[in-house]
Amino acid sequence: MCYAIPGKVKEIGEKSVLVDYFGETRKAINEFYDVRIGDYVCAQGGFVIKKVSPSEAESTLSAWQELFFELKQIDLRLSRLDLKNKGIDKRLSSILDNALENKSLSLEDLLYLFNTESRSGIELIYKTANFLRQKYIKNSCCVHGIIEISNYCTQGCMYCGISTHNKALGRYRMTHKEIVDSALLAIEEFGFKAILLQSGEDAFYTADRLADIVAEIKAKAGVLICISFGEIGIDGLEKLYKAGARAILMRFETSNPKIYERLHPGRSLNTRLDHIKKAGQIGYLIMTGGLIGLPDQTREDIINDIYLAKELQAEMYSFGPFLPHPETPLASNSPPNEDDVLKALALTRLIDPEKSKILVTTAFETLCPDARRHGLLAGANSVMLNVTPIKYRKQYSIYPNRAYDKEEITTQIKETIALLQSLGRAPTDLGVN
């Protein structure tokens, strides 16, 4: 299964190309390839990541064309919004009407939505978010692969299972060759066009070592490489960008400085935000967000978190539940309920409806077995599959009983494709509007 449908180049600009997919056009930045009008390319995250031969492209497009339109019809049916709901209070209806007209919602409006408790009202919020997702993003759903290269970490975050607090954890580091081989397997064997390389803040993996890994993967395969190694410094960000990384996952976790400092003793929210802002200035696609259900966190804090992610020009929003590890100081705290997480995803879509990608996190899938389906029907349009070798996967124990710690990647792909097809979603990223 291909996770980036080839498209034909229709126009060429100074730094971008216009690509046609079954009559729909998208722009994509082209930094790495010499292309001409009529060439076929794959794009991911708004970047051209690969040139495709005409024979390969036409074969893929022929297999996809009928299914592509079938999926669109399923998605349209499931995202249809019934505005004649009975028993919905007038204020809720008025707020959602404004959202549908792309009018800015006030903090009071968003809090009203977040505080809605009636089942019919909650479901209407989810349906409205899903309708806006379909209206602006159509039925594409990003499917990324993640490789967790090391569970060593120098930081003492108060909830994370790979922090220095967890003395019981067996530690591992994948070798350079293991990382490259795992990435190439995911790309060439299983069709991934976007790979996230992630670790704790491991001093062994210097920026130079990480850059060598990224450069080797880029030299051998067409892929969008996303990095998530914590605060590696501005010099490190520049080295990895030069090596070929083009996206970064770095959550700020909370926009509330007091909560942040309690979670990360001795560390500053401003330093974290400076890293994210500098990454954006360098040219990285920003994937960021927060945790839902933190101790002393209010719903206003969560809404502020969404606004902060938007201010940081997030390409992808990553909001997941707070799941403290039992071997950490915050072990006794309870996770949030499913609706609080779904409401946060839905409000993210209402706040940034037109271009945002919203991830259904593995943490949410750990909290609720059917989270992926529910999240995708509440405005989300991205999922992450774990392609870390199974022998290491369970040791990346950031929270307990993590989803997909034991499932082979073939099983994950089969289940994901079946779910996406049932919802009318195409497992591909068609670039940007």
Q: What is the pLDDT along the chain (433 residues), one digit of tens a residue?
A: 446 788 899 999 888 899 888 888 888 888 878 899 999 998 888 889 889 899 988 888 887 777 777 888 888 888 887 766 667 888 999 999 999 998 999 999 999 999 999 999 999 999 999 999 999 988 889 999 999 999 999 999 999 999 999 999 999 999 999 999 999 999 999 989 999 999 999 999 999 999 999 999 999 999 999 999 999 999 999 999 999 999 999 999 999 999 999 999 999 999 999 999 999 999 999 999 999 999 999 999 999 999 999 999 999 999 999 999 999 999 999 999 999 999 999 999 999 999 889 999 999 999 999 999 999 999 999 999 999 999 999 999 999 999 999 999 999 999 999 999 999 998 887 655 5
Compute the distance between CA of residue 336 and CA of residue 323 in angstroms, rounded to an integer: 8
Give the closest residue to 420 by CA, choosing from 59, 20, 78. Answer: 78
Is residue 148 classed exposed, middle or buried when 0-12, 13-18 and 19+ CB atoms within 10 A define those classes? buried
Domains of the chain and any CATH numbers: 7-65 (2.30.30.140), 137-422 (3.20.20.70)
Pairing of strands 314-317, 357-360: parallel
CA dihedral 20, 21, 25, 30 (to 10 degrees): -60
Contact 317, 99 (CB under 8 A): no
Q: Which of 104, 83, 139 is closest to 347 using CA atoms? A: 104
Instruction: Give the integer Cα–Cα distance in Å for 32 and 53.
Output: 16
Alpha carbon distance 376, 143 (integer Å) = 12
The answer to whether the beta carbons of residues 397 and 166 sit under 8 Å apart is yes
Compute the distance between CA of residue 105 and CA of residue 212 in angstroms, rounded to an integer. 46
Query: In this structure, how many other beta carbons lie within 10 angstroms of the beta carbon of residue 431?
Result: 27
